[in-house]
Chains A and B, each alone.
Chain A
Amino acid sequence: DGGITQSPKYLFRKEGQNVTLSCEQNLNHDAMYWYRQDPGQGLRLIYYSQIVNDFQKGDIAEGYSVSREKKESFPLTVTSAQKNPTAFYLCASKWGGGRGNEQFFGPGTRLTVL
Chain B
Amino acid sequence: AQSVTQLDSQVPVFEEAPVELRCNYSSSVSVYLFWYVQYPNQGLQLLLKYLSGSTLVKGINGFEAEFNKSQTSFHLRKPSVHISDTAEYFCAVSGNNAGNMLTFGGGTRLMVKP
Contact = CB atoms under 8 A, between A and B. Distances in A.
Interface string B93-106: 01110111110111
A23 to B, nearest CB: 11
B32 interface: yes
A92 B46 CA distance: 12
B112 to A, nearest CB: 20
Interface in B64-114: 90, 94-96, 98-102, 104-107
A97 B105 CA distance: 22
Contacts of B9: 40
B106 A42 contact: yes
Nearest to A107: B43
B41 A42 contact: no
Interface residues of B, number: 27
Contacts, number: 60
A50 B6 CA distance: 28
B44 to A, nearest CB: 4
Given A90-B44, A107-B42, A102 B107 contact: no
Interface size class of A (residues with CB under 8 A): 20 to 34
Interface-centre pick from B42, B43, B99 (highest chain A CB count, 10 A): B43
A99 B106 CA distance: 21
A100 B44 contact: no
B55 interface: no
Given A40-B106, A99-B100, A106-B43, 8 more contacts: A6-B43, A40-B9, A42-B104, A43-B104, A48-B101, A50-B99, A103-B44, A108-B42
Interface of A: 4, 6, 31, 40-45, 48, 50, 56, 58, 90, 92, 97-100, 102-103, 105-108, 110
Interface of B: 4, 6, 9, 32, 34, 36, 41-46, 49, 51, 90, 94-96, 98-102, 104-107
